Chain A
Amino acid sequence: MRFLIMGCGRVGSGLARSLTDEGHDVTIIDVRQDAFRRLTAQFRGNAIIGDGLDSAALQRAGIENADVFVSVTQGDNRNLMAAQVAKHIFKVPRVIARVYDDSRADVFRELGLQTLSSPRFVTGLMREMIFDESDITPGDE
């Protein structure tokens, strides 16, 4: 499968590494070259400097052939805009946007966009750790 990841932060770089390790074709795009320091020297995917909101940059990153597009920059609105461009303009089959603001995530989920709202997700996990008496220990992810 061909993946295009926008945003080389902790999540983006982690996702990119694990997917390449599994043998997938991964391209990661970020506006700042500095962000790519999170990728190891062994990273076998493509890292491209460019703005994911710029269609030309997305094309350079091979969005037309991507099977999956994931936007995980720090900006909710950037993630949502890029994901919609990937879905509606470039017709990428599977598109996921990470969004910090729960209520904003809901609006776009209702519009048919797959969103992952991280505070809600973390809150859920936190509650599980608090109330679940199984052997989850602090520090587990």
Chain B
Amino acid sequence: MYVIVAGGGKVGFGLSQALLANGDEVLCIEKDAHRCAVIAEDLGSASYQGDCCEVSVLEDTGTGRADVFVAVTGDDADNLIACQVAKARFRVPRTVARINDPRNREIFSILGVDATVNSTDVIMSQIAQEMPSQPLTQVLSLRGTGRELCQVEVTADSPLLGEEVNLLRLPGDSEIILIVCADQSVRTPENGLQLEAGQVVLALTREEQEPALREALTGVAPE
């Protein structure tokens, strides 16, 4: 895979190193000559000095054959325009932009950038993982099926408490497949089974249904 990383700051440099370690072909474009000399010490010919928004630079760097174009400068406008030029002029199949202002996410999406990453989101998701208030956790991703196995514990304040398992309204084709009881015994979701505190419910769902399932089983609405 050929990945172009536009912007050789801390984020772009680190990302380039990680991709190189992963065995990908990488080119990190950095505008500032001094900064570029610094990252070239480590990245060697995987670094390139130039303005990532200029058509001639993207031509020189072989953007036309890039699989992914990632713009991670500290300037949202630069990241947007670089991605748009890469996509419109060089037909790069996937463009990813770092956004520094989270409010720009929707704008970038409307203007054709395939994915955005912002540090606020990353930190928020890290915090969310540590929080006990969202107890739905993924146990297993079933490779190639787009499906995953999740679990949720029935707590004393859970909306599941006392509910009949087969009457729960679940999104799409998500289904509960197993209930692990407090005494470690295992039950299938037969009719009439009411959920009790201390039980763990295992559900099969699809990645895109996970937020809705989370809401159904925990009562916590997605952000």
Chain B residues closer than 8 Å to A53, beta-carbon distance: 76-77, 101, 104
List CB contacts (< 8 Å) of A64-116 with chain B. 75-78, 80-81, 84-85, 88-89, 101, 103-104, 106-108, 110-111
Q: How far is the CA of A103 from the CA of B55 in the complex (A)?
A: 6
Partner among A75, A80, A81, A107 whose Cβ is within 8 Å of the Cβ of B55? A107
List CB contacts (< 8 Å) of A19-59 with chain B. 53-55
Q: How far is the CA of A54 from the CA of B100 in the complex (A)?
A: 12
Q: Are A107 and B77 in contact (CB under 8 A)?
A: no
| Interface range for B | 20 to 34
Query: How far, in Å, is B122 (CB) from chain A's closest CB?
Result: 22
Q: Are A81 and B76 in contact (CB under 8 A)?
A: yes
B53 interface residue, CB < 8 Å from A? yes
B124 interface residue, CB < 8 Å from A? no
Q: How far is the CA of A111 from the CA of B89 in the complex (A)?
A: 10
Q: Are B78 and A77 in contact (CB under 8 A)?
A: yes
Name the residue on A nearest B82 (C-beta).
A77
Q: How far is the CA of A108 from the CA of B55 in the complex (A)?
A: 12
Q: How far is the CA of A80 from the CA of B75 in the complex (A)?
A: 13
Chain B residues closer than 8 Å to A89, beta-carbon distance: 107, 110
Q: Are B53 and A104 in contact (CB under 8 A)?
A: yes
Q: How far is the CA of A91 from the CA of B77 in the complex (A)?
A: 19
Would you mind naming 9 contact pairs between A and B with Cβ atoms under 8 Å apart? Answer: A53-B104, A76-B53, A77-B77, A101-B53, A101-B55, A106-B55, A107-B84, A107-B85, A107-B89
Query: Chain B: residues with CB nearer than 8 A to chain A?
Result: 53-56, 75-78, 80-81, 84-85, 88-89, 101, 103-104, 107, 110-111
Query: Chain A: residues with CB nearer than 8 A to chain B?
Result: 53-55, 75-78, 80-81, 84-85, 88-89, 101, 103-104, 106-108, 110-111
**What 8 additional pairs, Cβ within 8 angstroms, besides A77-B53, A101-B53, A101-B55?**
A77-B80, A80-B81, A81-B77, A81-B81, A89-B110, A101-B54, A104-B55, A108-B88
